[in-house]
């Protein structure tokens, strides 16, 4: 009788979802061929099939060799044969649908087969190209594509983790290119929070880039975040810093008054004056807020000539030297000057501080400095969203949301590389909260998440979602992780240190893309967050190749070890490692020598004026200028890389 070429061994031990298989003596481990296709046999991460009547059980090899053998008193038998340990993950009826989980277990002496391309076709079923996206191919069988279910990938959240240099950024770029293919998903909505400004090149042609210091030549748009769209609790740390309860109440009342005044001047649909709170996204002039509070804190009173004892009125607005009147100006952040407090001398010369102060002089001085700071113009002077004194704006927040998640491009990249690091975490939290609230309240509209889901990609997530962080970013992302699925808001976390991410957030990620991880705590964190019992599979994370990932969770029918297809060479993230020694090749692609780039080049007189110019400009795009002003082209500084 002709031997089945897919047969590799028999079941010898079953413990829960773990099955121990003794390999057949005729089974050749390594690379085997079935119907002309090559398959990795007996390797960690490869698939096996166990037929049980009309049902096929499927599992993933998690351990190979003597350590996979069941406990046995017969050492010769236990260690003299070849063994594999398999984690059962799902089942499928012959010609029917594959399902995760198993309803029955194999028994001793059940035959075990390698999973072929035909079996994989049965697992995935009649794959609808609209539902499944190819992201690469299986590491154990190059002919079998690695498919992910886009519905579960987006709505059930995901995480891409890997150490620096593992190909994490390239993997994310490859995933986003697949998810934003305009021929398949013309209405895709993806928002990328790009901390280091590395994805614009990788997603060129299908993305809109928003940046604080926008480069119009490259088609970038200015990144504006209207302060008045933030909630009161989000606004206060940016504008004032710390306030006690009494101070916060007084500031909130002043903001409500300005918002109501602005609403009277410029009525807006959906809200009345009586409904306005400090959190209502109504434009108001922050310069007027600062000016009014400054007057309240600094104004002085002098006795009116001939007035009764104790009767006072507002002083003339004078500076401390008695110069002519200086009323100040709100829009140019020029404060009014008042006479110095004086409680001695003749009564008509005495000057006292006005009533109604709340003790926020230091906070107002800080706010004035921020209003003048060009680095914070994107927040306090946000272009067409900057209110006038009466609360009028050229554009409302609907046009901001349309730019971010409603443009004709499927991907919007918010390049946050030009934002001061001390406010980055809180700013990310505020931006996400604005987006989530808008999607939440519009969930039943065509622009809402239920009709057109939104995927938010959070780069360098460990920087603002740590377990110790109690900032607004962690709070909002926890809310999205727990509730976003119901309202069509999905997230993709990207991190090189998963152990530092809040476990509540990471555990809500239904799909994990684990690239090379060398740190024990990072691997343990990922293994504990995975829904499947695949601890043995995660033990191979330190030896994965660059761009190779273990994918487990909701979006894949089976846990897979896959090589992710990178984007084309000209569309890779701006995170490639600089070369210490540049390898030179000839026209045939053959290496001829090393150098002269990197450390192997000859260096003449250095001129770092171009470097300083780019630093001051806060832009990596180099523009040639006259030689007298800039260094030669060969001395231009290389751009920094992440991973």
DSSP letter string, 547-572: TEEEEEETT-SS-EEEEEPPPPGGG-
Of 190 and 602, more confident: 190
Side-chain-side CA neighbours of residue 176 (13 Å): 39
Q: Is the pLDDT of residue 521 over 50?
A: yes
pLDDT at 70: 77
Q: Which residue has the higher pLDDT, 580 or 104?
A: 104
The average pLDDT across 219-244 equals 93
Confidence of residue 205 (pLDDT cuts 50, 70, 90): confident
Angle (CA) 492-494-499 rounded to 5° is: 115
- pLDDT at site 19: 92
pLDDT at position 108 over 90: yes
pLDDT band at 304 (very low <50, low <70, confident <90, very high): low
Please list the alpha-helical segments (H only) found in 266-314. Answer: 286-298
Q: How confident is the model at residue 589 (pLDDT cuts 50, 70, 90)?
A: low
pLDDT of 315 strictly over 80: no
Can you give the pLDDT at residue 306? 56
Q: How many CB atoms lie within 10 A of CB 448?
A: 19
Least confident interval from 310-324, 388-402, 533-547? 310-324
Query: 196 with 460: CB under 8 angstroms?
Result: yes
Range with top average pLDDT, 400-409, 535-544, 578-587, 603-612: 400-409
Could you tell me if 114 and 39 are in contact, meaning their C-beta atoms sit under 8 angstroms apart?
A: yes
Instruction: Confirm if 402 and 234 have CB atoms less than 8 A apart.
Output: no
Answer with the residue of higher pLDDT: 456 or 418.
456
State the pLDDT confidence band at 244, using cuts at 50, 70 and 90.
very high
Distances (CA, A) of 290 to 297, 301, 329, 369: 10, 21, 11, 11
Mean pLDDT over residues 205-213, rounded?
A: 90
Domain 145-206+409-571 has CATH 1.10.260.40: no
Q: Which residues of the chain form CATH 3.40.50.300? A: 145-206+409-571
Distant-in-sequence, close-in-space partners of 250: CB < 8 Å, separation ≥ 6: 358
User: Who has greater pLDDT, 205 or 259?
Assistant: 259
For the chain, give the mean pLDDT.
Answer: 82
Average pLDDT over residues 45-66: 87
Confidence of residue 635 (pLDDT cuts 50, 70, 90): very low
- pLDDT above 80 for 382: yes
Buried b (16+ CB within 10 A) or exposed e, 529-553: bbebbbebbbebbeebebbbbbbbb
- Lowest-confidence segment of 3-12, 44-53, 401-410, 536-545 by average pLDDT: 536-545
């Amino acid at each position: 009788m002709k031997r089945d070429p897919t047969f590799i061994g028999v079941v010898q031990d079953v413990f829960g979802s773990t099955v121990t298989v003794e390999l057949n003596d005729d089974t050749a481990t390594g690379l085997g061929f079935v119907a002309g296709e090559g398959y990795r046999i007996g390797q960690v991460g490869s698939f096996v099939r166990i037929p049980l009547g009309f049902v096929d059980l499927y599992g993933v090899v998690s351990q190979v060799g003597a350590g996979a053998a069941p406990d046995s008193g017969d050492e010769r038998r236990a260690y003299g044969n070849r063994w594999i340990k398999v984690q059962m993950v799902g089942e499928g009826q012959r010609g029917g649908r594959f399902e995760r989980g198993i309803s029955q277990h194999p028994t001793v002496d059940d035959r075990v087969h390698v999973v072929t391309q035909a079996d994989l076709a049965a697992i995935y079923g009649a794959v609808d190209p609209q539902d499944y996206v190819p992201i690469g191919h299986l590491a154990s069988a190059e002919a079998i594509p690695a498919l992910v279910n886009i519905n579960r990938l987006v709505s059930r959240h995901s995480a891409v983790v890997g150490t620096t240099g593992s190909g994490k950024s390239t993997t994310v770029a490859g995933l986003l290119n697949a998810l934003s293919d305009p021929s398949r998903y013309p209405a895709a909505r993806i928002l990328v929070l790009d901390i280091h400004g590395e994805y614009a090149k990788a997603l060129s042609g299908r993305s809109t880039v928003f940046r604080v210091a926008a480069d119009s030549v490259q088609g970038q748009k200015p990144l504006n975040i209207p302060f008045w769209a933030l909630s009161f609790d989000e606004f206060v740390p940016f504008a004032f810093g710390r306030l006690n309860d009494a101070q916060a109440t007084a500031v909130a009342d002043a903001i409500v008054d300005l918002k109501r005044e602005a609403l009277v001047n410029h009525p807006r649909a959906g809200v009345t004056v009586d409904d306005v709170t400090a959190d209502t996204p109504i434009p108001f002039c922050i310069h007027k807020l600062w000016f009014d509070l400054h007057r309240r804190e600094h104004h002085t009173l002098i006795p009116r000539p001939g007035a009764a004892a104790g009767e006072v009125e507002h002083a003339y607005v004078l500076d401390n030297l008695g110069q002519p009147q200086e009323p100040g100006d709100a829009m140019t952040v020029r404060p009014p000057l008042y006479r110095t407090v004086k409680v001695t001398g003749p009564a008509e010369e005495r000057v006292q501080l006005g009533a109604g102060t709340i003790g926020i002089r230091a906070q107002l001085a800080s706010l004035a400095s921020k209003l003048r700071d060009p680095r914070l113009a994107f927040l306090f002077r946000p272009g067409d969203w900057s209110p006038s004194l009466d609360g009028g704006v050229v554009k409302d927040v609907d046009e901001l949301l349309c730019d971010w998640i409603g443009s004709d491009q499927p991907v919007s990249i918010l390049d946050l590389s030009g934002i001061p690091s001390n406010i980055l975490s809180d700013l990310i939290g505020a931006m996400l909260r604005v987006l989530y609230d808008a999607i939440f309240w519009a969930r039943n509209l065509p622009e809402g998440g239920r009709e057109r889901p939104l995927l938010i990609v959070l780069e360098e997530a460990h920087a603002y979602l740590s377990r110790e962080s109690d900032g607004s970013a962690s709070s909002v992302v926890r809310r999205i992780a727990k509730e976003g699925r119901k309202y069509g808001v999905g997230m993709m976390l990207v991190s090189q240190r998963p152990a530092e991410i809040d476990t509540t957030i990471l555990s809500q990620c239904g799909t994990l893309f684990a690239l090379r991880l060398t740190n024990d705590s990072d691997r343990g964190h990922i293994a504990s967050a995975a829904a499947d019992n695949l601890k043995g599979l995660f033990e191979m994370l330190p030896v994965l190749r660059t761009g190779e990932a273990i994918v487990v969770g909701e979006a894949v029918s089976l846990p897979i070890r896959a090589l992710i297809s990178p984007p084309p060479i000209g569309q890779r993230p701006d995170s490639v490692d600089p070369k210490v020694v540049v390898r030179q090749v000839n026209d045939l692609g053959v290496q001829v020598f090393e150098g002269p780039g990197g450390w192997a080049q000859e260096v003449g007189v250095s001129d770092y004026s171009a470097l300083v110019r780019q630093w001051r400009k806060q832009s990596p795009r180099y523009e040639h200028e006259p030689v007298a002003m800039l260094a030669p082209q060969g001395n231009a500084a290389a751009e920094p890389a992440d991973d």
